[in-house]
């Protein structure tokens, strides 16, 4: 397999690409050929686009617009793909780069966004050979470790997919698996749990390849700088998930009171309470209250004592501005009763914030028969805490709420003993 995913070939003269299309299909690639704008059905999961630059005779302007419109349509389905274009007017490296530049500029004018696809150096012949294509692809992937890593990850997943399905089928019938999961978590989250089970089995068969290891090593060697927003996006992607408004409440849901200011909560009732509430009716779900700290405030509190005091009040502490930032982003030095969810992003906003949860303030919300309690109780769901963050939260909450507690020695007695020690 040269690239995972679909290979899309577009040329108004089929004879010019017959050789490369036959070669790719012989290698087992999923190849779709078309002479014009492709249908939406074939645009999903395109990883390699092979396209003639001049689709409208020798009309340069019309052809560039036609190619840009195709790129726009593909980018709506996937942002990561490689583009191999050829034209009889390709020439020097500078001329080839100008071709790519013009296409990117037209794309930007049409969409007001940058084209994130990777271009191979344009081919300068009326037809394209398989050896030229493969060689140029390999060189591009080798020189771009990010591209190589993404392709290797996708290739590993594809290779492991059939084995994972076979394991699930061989273990038990699908109906038996569904019945077992339904008994455990009910039918509300059945589809999500089934996907989770499949991914767990899939991960056992995904093996890192030598190429993937090389890509990772190259990326580490480059040591690219990652700014706060990029890290925030990555952390948010790993830690939280968005669910539809119609989906019922569940463990880990982050809630905001619609008519309140800075009022948040996280559902910590176990999943079995939701799954079994029809069989064993429960009156309430458990909520941990939380307060919000905007990420931008961490950088502004150094010059704003009032803002610093507000953040300290939420952390139940008296930190300096540097200590505040460190406490929020690392969790160090904060009280055991607190837990911080970092880098949340509300779908209605475009800025990061952090939530400080207080285990001492747990309260209950009444269950509604319909399950759509958020609308009825004046709450809305911001997102859902994903694993392993929700697992860590539940574990720390359980440890705090189930602590036995021992009698403490009064402070005046302690200070009296310390005073006697100093005098002796």
Q: Which residue has the tokens 């509430």?
A: 277
Strands 363-366 and 253-257 turn out to be: unpaired
| Residue 413: inside a domain | no
| C-alpha span between 238 and 342 (Å, rounded) | 11
Same domain? 27 vs 130: yes
* Segment 338-348 mean pLDDT: 89
| Residue 312: inside a domain | yes
Range of the domain at 169: 156-222
Q: Give residue 368's pLDDT.
A: 63
More confident residue, 186 or 83: 83
Q: Comparing C-alpha atoms, which of 247, 251, 255, 248 is closest to residue 270?
A: 251
Answer whether residue 260 shows pLDDT above 70.
Answer: no
Same domain? 248 vs 394: yes
| Residue 365: inside a domain | yes
Which of 143, 167, 188 marks a domain boundary?
A: 143
Answer whether residue 391 shows pLDDT above 70.
Answer: yes
Same domain? 285 vs 198: no
Which of 143, 172, 193 marks a domain boundary?
A: 143
Same domain? 334 vs 390: yes
| Residue 406: inside a domain | no
Most confidently predicted of 55-59, 142-146, 303-307, 330-334: 303-307
> How many domains are there within the chain?
3
Same domain? 132 vs 203: no
Same domain? 210 vs 184: yes
| Residue 408: inside a domain | no
Same domain? 35 vs 84: yes
| Residue 25: inside a domain | yes
| C-alpha span between 87 and 68 (Å, rounded) | 15
Answer whether residue 374 shows pLDDT above 70.
Answer: no
Beta bridge partners of 6: 30, 46
- For residue 8, the surrounding DSSP H or E stretch is strand 6-10
Q: Quick check: 347 and 242 in contact, CB under 8 A?
A: yes
Answer whether residue 310 shows pLDDT above 80.
Answer: yes
Answer whether residue 126 shows pLDDT above 60.
Answer: no
Q: Count Cα atoms within 13 angstroms, Cβ side, for 169.
A: 6
Q: Quick check: 118 and 144 in contact, CB under 8 A?
A: yes
| Residue 422: inside a domain | no
Q: Which two tokens stand for residue 171?
A: 């273990």
Q: Which two tokens stand for residue 280?
A: 């064993």
Q: Across the chain, what does the average pLDDT equal?
A: 84
Same domain? 188 vs 325: no
- Residue 80's pLDDT band, with cuts at 50, 70 and 90, is confident
The model's pTM:
0.74
Same domain? 121 vs 209: no
Q: Which parts of 304-423 fold into alpha helices (H)?
A: 305-315, 321-330, 373-376, 389-401, 411-423
* Segment 345-353 mean pLDDT: 83
- Residue 339's pLDDT band, with cuts at 50, 70 and 90, is very high
Q: At how many degrees (to 10) do helices 145-171 and 190-205 cross?
A: 110
Same domain? 213 vs 255: no
| C-alpha span between 220 and 218 (Å, rounded) | 5
Answer whether residue 366 shows pLDDT above 80.
Answer: no
Question: For residue 86, with 0-12 CB atoms within 10 Å meaning exposed, 13-18 middle and 19 or more buried, which class applies?
Answer: buried
Answer whether residue 359 shows pLDDT above 90.
Answer: yes
- Residue 228's pLDDT band, with cuts at 50, 70 and 90, is confident
* Segment 51-78 mean pLDDT: 86
Q: Give residue 410's pLDDT.
A: 79
Same domain? 138 vs 195: no
**Edge to edge, what strands does the sheet with 6-10 contain?**
30-34, 6-10, 46-52, 82-86, 118-119
Q: At how many degrees (to 10) do helices 174-185 and 190-205 cross?
A: 120
| Residue 235: inside a domain | no
């Amino acid at each position: 397999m040269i690239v995972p995913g679909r290979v899309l070939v577009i040329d108004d003269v089929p004879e010019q690409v017959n050789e490369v299309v036959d070669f790719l299909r012989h290698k087992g690639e999923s190849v779709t050929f078309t002479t014009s704008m492709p249908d939406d059905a074939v645009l999903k999961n395109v990883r390699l686009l092979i396209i003639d630059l001049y689709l409208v005779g020798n009309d340069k302007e019309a052809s560039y617009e036609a190619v840009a419109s195709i790129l726009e349509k593909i980018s709506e389905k996937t942002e990561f793909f490689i583009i191999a274009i050829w034209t009889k007017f390709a020439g020097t490296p500078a001329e080839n780069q100008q071709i790519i530049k013009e296409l990117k500029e037209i794309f930007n004018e049409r969409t007001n966004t940058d084209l994130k696809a990777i271009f191979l150096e344009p081919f300068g012949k009326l037809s394209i050979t398989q050896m030229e294509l493969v060689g140029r692809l390999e060189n591009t992937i080798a020189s771009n470790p990010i591209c190589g890593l993404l392709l290797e990850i996708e290739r590993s997943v594809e290779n492991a997919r059939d084995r994972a399905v076979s394991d699930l089928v061989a273990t038990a019938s699908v109906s038996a698996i569904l019945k077992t999961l339904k008994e455990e978590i009910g039918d509300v989250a059945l589809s999500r749990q089934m996907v989770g089970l499949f991914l767990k089995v899939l991960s056992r068969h995904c093996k890192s390849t030598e190429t993937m290891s090389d890509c990772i090593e190259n990326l580490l060697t480059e040591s690219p700088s990652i700014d706060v927003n990029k890290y925030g996006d990555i952390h948010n992607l790993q830690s939280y998930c968005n669910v539809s408004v119609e989906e019922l409440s569940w463990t880990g849901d982050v809630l905001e009171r619609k008519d309140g200011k800075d009022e948040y909560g996280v559902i910590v009732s176990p999943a079995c309470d939701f799954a079994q509430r029809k069989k064993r009716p429960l009156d309430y779900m458990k909520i941990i209250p939380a307060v919000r700290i905007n990420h931008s405030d961490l950088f502004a509190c150094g010059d704003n004592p009032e803002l610093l005091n507000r953040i300290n009040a939420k952390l139940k502490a008296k930190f300096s501005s540097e200590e505040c930032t460190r406490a929020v982003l690392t969790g160090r030095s904060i009280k055991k009763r607190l837990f911080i969810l970092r880098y949340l992003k509300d779908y209605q906003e475009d800025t990061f914030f952090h939530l400080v949860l207080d285990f001492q303030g747990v309260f209950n919300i009444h269950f509604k028969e319909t399950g759509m309690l958020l609308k009825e109780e004046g709450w809305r769901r911001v997102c859902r805490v994903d694993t392993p963050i929700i697992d860590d939260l539940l574990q720390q909450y359980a440890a705090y709420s189930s602590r036995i507690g021992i009698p403490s020695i009064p402070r005046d007695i302690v200070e009296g003993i310390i005073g006697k020690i100093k005098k002796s």
